[in-house]
Amino acid sequence: MTETTTLLAREGAALAIAIEDDATPFVRQIAQALRRAARTGHAVEVLGGAAGAVAVRSHDTPQAATITLGEGTVEVASGVRVVPDATVVVDVHARFASVQEVEGDGVLAAAALSALQPPLPHWREAAASFWNETREIAGIPDVLVVDAVGPDGIEHGRFGVGATEYLLAGPADLLAGIFTGADDLPAALAAGVQVKGTLSQLSVMTAASWKVRFDV
């Protein structure tokens, strides 16, 4: 297991989130969502003292994983190799939305589902964090330009300084999802996000999207 310990902002406690070696994208995506939840205190808030094994299955692919909750620890492993206490079936393209009735321990399942769906930060905060996290990726443009469409119209943002720019424009909530890893950039293009830059830059931005979504 590869372990990361995330300090909880509000609780002052630590939650260790571990994934197996050579983890699948699904395991990584789950772990990244839980890390986001842990960073804001959301995870501790919803998980409380929950303990047990929760099977998580994708509704449209064979992807499956098991979240094992313990005292201050969360382990995520591929497949379902134990008899789980609860099983949830989720849409990984819709931020782990539950798509069918849970099986087993409903309270545990609800806690796990909530932990997988931490509230998104404001798009501007998410964009700044995204930009910081992806600086080391080869070929990443110097400047991220954002046109976020919110309830009050278009808000503009610029992050970074330099000669090369990349623009993302679209609904503020969807952009926040891309920047946090809750949503996938290539999929978001089909959902209305628009970009301005070269094909090579799109390729690099995809790597950046995967960095925050899967930690790869």
Partner 1 sequence: MSDLTQPTRGATAIRLEATNHEGSLLGKNVTPAKFASGKDSGFAFADILFAIDLNNEIVLGDAFPDWRGNLYDIQMVPDMSTLVEWKPGLDSVIGDYWLKDGRPVPICPRNMVRGLLEKLAAHGYTATAAVEIEATLFEESVHEARARGYRDLTPLGGSTGATYHLARSKDWIDYMEAVVARLDELGITWEAWTDEAAPGQTELNLAPTDPLRLCDGWARTRQVMREVAFELGHTVSFMAKPTAGFGQGAHINLSLQKDGVNQFFAEDGPSALMERAVAGLLATMEGATSVVMPQITSYRRLVDLTGPPTTVTWGVNNKTAAVRAITGHPKYSRLEYRLPGSDVNPYFALAVVLAGVLAGIEKELEPPAQVSDMAWCLPDDGVVKRIPDTMSKAGAALDADPLLREYLGDEFVDFWVASRRWEWMEFHTKGGDPFAELSAWESTRYFEFP
Smallest separation (angstroms) from partner 1 to the CB of 174: 18
CA distances in angstroms from 32 to 42, 45, 85, 177, 190, listed in the order given: 13, 17, 22, 13, 23
Amino acid (one-letter) located at 135: R
CB of residue 92 to partner 1, shortest distance in Å: 8
Binding site for partner 1 (CB under 8 A): 22, 24-26, 60-64, 78-79, 92, 137-139, 186, 198-200, 202-204, 206-207, 210, 214, 216
Residue 29 CB, shortest distance to partner 1, in Å, is: 9
Specify the residue, 143 or 202, whose C-beta has the smaller distance to partner 1.
202
Q: Quick one: 179 or 210, whose CB is closer to partner 1?
A: 210
The CB-of-155 to partner 1 minimum distance in angstroms stands at: 27
Sequence-distant (6+) residues with CB within 8 A of 179 are 123, 126, 127, 129, 130, 212
Smaller CB separation from partner 1, 46 or 64: 64
Smallest separation (angstroms) from partner 1 to the CB of 198: 6
Q: Which is nearer to partner 1, 26 or 179 (CB)?
A: 26
CA distance 30 to 49: 19
Nearer to partner 1 by Cβ, of 37 and 204: the residue is 204
